Amino acid sequence: MRPLLVALFLWVPLPAAASDNSVITGFCLAAFKAAMAQAGKVPPPGMGEETCRCFLREVEQGQGIDVAQETCKAEAAAKYNL
């Protein structure tokens, strides 16, 4: 049964934007969690998700990765008083 589910999952196409966004968000959250762990901080609930939504929005609007990261880090720091 499991191979059938895997084959079905691989066969059903996702819209390109949705699959790209979920992959980018996944990488963003992993990087966010790693950065917070390296800094020895525990982020408030929702901070990672909100920061990654900001990052995705900035990139979709044409910002480069570095600019999007800095913009969203600054927004999160201001909002969460970090």
Number of domains in the chain: 1
* Residues of the domain holding 62: 15-79
pLDDT for position 3: 41
Read off the pLDDT of residues 35-58 as tens digits, 9 standing for 90 and up. Answer: 999 999 999 999 999 999 999 999
Q: Is-contact 72 58, C-beta < 8 A?
A: yes
Instruction: Give the residue among 37, 68, 39, 66 at the shortest CA–CA distance from 53.
Output: 68
Per-residue pLDDT band for 6 (boundaries 50, 70, 90) equals very low
Q: Is-contact 67 61, C-beta < 8 A?
A: no
Is 34 inside a domain boundary? yes
Q: Is the predicted pLDDT of residue 65 greater than 50, yes or no?
A: yes
Is 31 inside a domain boundary? yes
Is 52 inside a domain boundary? yes
Question: What is the pTM for the complete model shown?
Answer: 0.72
And the tokens for 12? 């059903």
**CA-only gyration radius of the chain, Å:** 16
2's CB contacts (< 8 A; 6+ apart) are: none
Is 3 inside a domain boundary? no
